[in-house]
Amino acid sequence: MPGAVAPTLAAASSSTAAASSLAPNPTARGDPLASRPCRIAAPAPLVPLAATSRHVHGCRGAPAPLAVASPHQARNPRLRFAAAAAEGMAAEASTADAASAAQAKPFAVLFVCLGNICRSPAAEAVFRNLVSKRGLGSKFQIDSAGTIGYHEGNKADSRMRSASKKRGIEVTSISRPIKPSDFRDFDLILAMDRQNYEDILNAFERWRHKEPLPDGAPNKVKLMCSYCKRHTESEVPDPYYGGPQGFEKVLDLLEDACESLLDSIVADNASISA
């Protein structure tokens, strides 16, 4: 009926107009979709795995919901076993890496006397010579220092260098004072006499209040002559104010102590002899 069609068309036209008045106009000023780029939605809350297959509506690039195990999966013994196995493998890998790093680190030895120009540089040279003869150079870090910095930057005493050279030992170190990092970097610190021993420990006590140092560092400090086997002296005497025989005596003690010292370190550290 013509009369009935007119109202229907009018209603449709009115409905279309209403719908168009509600739809956003991309070209209109102030329209939020036109004036601003599409924002990434905030991460959705955790949902069961089953929900992740649903289509995510909205702005392109919106993150999909994070997946977590459903209660059924959490109770599944196979899944629990797989997770535990993965954690175990990760822990084993971490332990292996730590062990490998420990083996790769050279064993560090520091020799210390008063000024680092006579006894400790000679001890460094004697020990380095023994290590080299056994083919263990890559397994060690060897250095020397003094409890004072008076001779810092100087070569070893010429008399000590000359006496050592007669025995086929080159003394090449440059004097430096002991420093806080030595208590972290070295595994063993050898004092030439008791006064050196006390000065090293006193330095540690001063420095430990200023920066972090290992609590067990004092246990690293030993008397050089405690490793002697052929000599009964308890200290390596300072030859600085004596004659040539004093330097020869120092070398005799150091060769005895260093040989025993190297044997001890190798026996206690399987990675060094490997």
pLDDT at 110 over 50: yes
State residue 259's pLDDT score.
98
Residue holding tokens 């490793």? 227
Beta bridge partners of 64: none
pLDDT at 107 over 90: yes
- Distance, first Cα to last Cα, the chain: 106
Mean pLDDT of 256-265: 98
Who wins on pLDDT, 25 or 262?
A: 262
Of the candidates 105, 144, 152, 49, the residue with the CA atom closest to the CA atom of residue 269: 105
State residue 190's pLDDT score.
98
Task: Name the percent of the chain lying above pLDDT 70.
Answer: 62
E strands, 45-106, are 47-48, 67-68
Can you give the residue ranges of every domain in the chain?
100-273
Choose the weakest-confidence range: 98-102, 108-112, 113-117. 98-102
* pLDDT tens track for 126-171: 999 999 999 999 999 999 999 999 999 999 999 999 999 999 999 9
Average pLDDT for the chain: 79
> What's 138's DSSP letter?
G
DSSP H stretches of helix in 105-215? 119-133, 158-165, 182-185, 194-207
pLDDT at 262 over 60: yes
State residue 274's pLDDT score.
56
State residue 42's pLDDT score.
52
State residue 273's pLDDT score.
76
Q: How far apart are CA 257 and CA 164, in angstroms?
A: 16
pLDDT at 49 over 60: no
Residue holding tokens 């397994």? 139
- Per-residue tokens: 49: 């795995």
* pLDDT tens track for 89-101: 666 656 555 555 5
Mean pLDDT of 52-79: 50
> What's the length of the chain?
274
State residue 10's pLDDT score.
44
Contacts 24+ apart (CB under 8 A), 46-52: 49/73
CA count, 13 A, side-chain hemisphere, 133: 11
Mean pLDDT of 51-68: 46
The CB density around residue 264, as the number of other CB atoms within 10 Å, is 12
pLDDT at 249 over 50: yes
State residue 71's pLDDT score.
56
pLDDT at 230 over 50: yes
* pLDDT tens track for 198-228: 999 999 999 999 999 999 999 999 999 999 9
Residue positions annotated with a catalytic role: 113, 119, 238
CATH, range 100-273? 3.40.50.2300
pLDDT at 264 over 60: yes
State residue 185's pLDDT score.
98
Q: Is the pTM of this model over 0.75?
A: no
Q: What is the band of 3 on the pLDDT scale with cuts at 50, 70, 90?
A: very low
